[in-house]
Amino acid sequence: MAAEFIIEGLKASIEGKEILKGINLQMKGGEVHAIMGPNGTGKSTLASALMGHPKYEVTEGTATLEGENLLEMAVDERARAGLFLAMQYPSEISGVTNSDFLRSAINSRREEGSEISLIRFIRQMEAKMKELDMNPEFLHRYLNEGFSGGEKKRNEILQMMMLDPKIVILDEIDSGLDIDALKIVAEGVNSMRSEGRGFLVITHYQRLLNYVTPDFVHVMMQGRIVKSGGPELAQRLEADGYEWIKEELGIEDETVGQEA
């Protein structure tokens, strides 16, 4: 069944300051939606609020995946319901190996007694790591500890591939990547595109969208989606920047929640 992901009237704040001021978005499995916008307009807050980061408080709205409101679930339940967020700044966790971590994550989706066998898990993981051009030793490294920016991003994509989510949010996955790494990451994403899976690609730059072609493009300013269109919108933003949208909508300061 194709996943249907509907965000309605989502408002969220951090330390009492409202950042998201009513987000509405509908996605279906197989679609790639891009969220673009200048810095400080609430893009990453949207990603974190959907995943349930403890610092963000959702004050209004719903986000339903296949009819179930994710916002009423704990973070781990959201993940098990099929949401995946590739983070902009993944945590480093000393003492927990990449493989132990991922095996726990996979087994959290399985019944007790039907855990994935070690051999099968290692085989799967090694195959995916090869696709992402990752050194197999990363299996035994502590989670993200001492990884370069690019290695962390690849590790996020690796997790996405292993966990087979229904809705994938990529939060600035392209930041800090050189062009070769960007291509590898994009190939990884493209290999996961399927009828049953939707992607929400948050990015500051058009660059990534050259490799992962979106079906829909949304522009965020002041904590709202202010403009939506097809892939041609991303092209125009690349060519002309954001100023024309601000003029069109009469926006002076596009940012939200930032101190003057």
CA distances from 97 to 20, 25, 143 (A): 35, 37, 5
Choices 4-12, 74-82, 238-246, 250-258 (CB under 8 A): range interacting with other proteins = 74-82
CA distances from 256 to 43, 47, 201, 259 (A): 10, 15, 20, 9
**Which positions from 117 through 156 interact with other proteins, judged by CB under 8 A?**
142
**Which positions from 172 through 231 interact with other proteins, judged by CB under 8 A?**
none
Out of 93, 118, 127, 249, point to the residue binding other proteins (CB under 8 A).
93
> In this structure, what token pair is assigned to residue 217?
């493009």
- The yes or no reply on residue 85 touching other proteins (CB under 8 A) is yes
Q: Measuring CA to CA, which residue among 156, 164, 118 is closest to residue 134?
A: 156
Interface with other proteins: number of residues (CB under 8 A): 29
- The yes or no reply on residue 51 touching other proteins (CB under 8 A) is yes
For the CA atoms of 219, 3, 174, 224, the dihedral, rounded to the nearest 10 degrees, stands at 20
- The yes or no reply on residue 96 touching other proteins (CB under 8 A) is yes
Q: Return the number of the residue (3 or 85) whose C-beta is nearest other proteins.
A: 85
Cα separation, 65 vs 8, whole angstroms: 12
Whether residue 106 contacts residue 163, with contact meaning beta carbons closer than 8 Å, is answered with: yes
- The yes or no reply on residue 109 touching other proteins (CB under 8 A) is yes
- The yes or no reply on residue 36 touching other proteins (CB under 8 A) is no
- Residues lying near other proteins in the complex (CB under 8 A) are found at 51-54, 74-76, 78-80, 84-85, 87, 90-91, 93-96, 100-102, 104-105, 108-109, 142, 159, 163
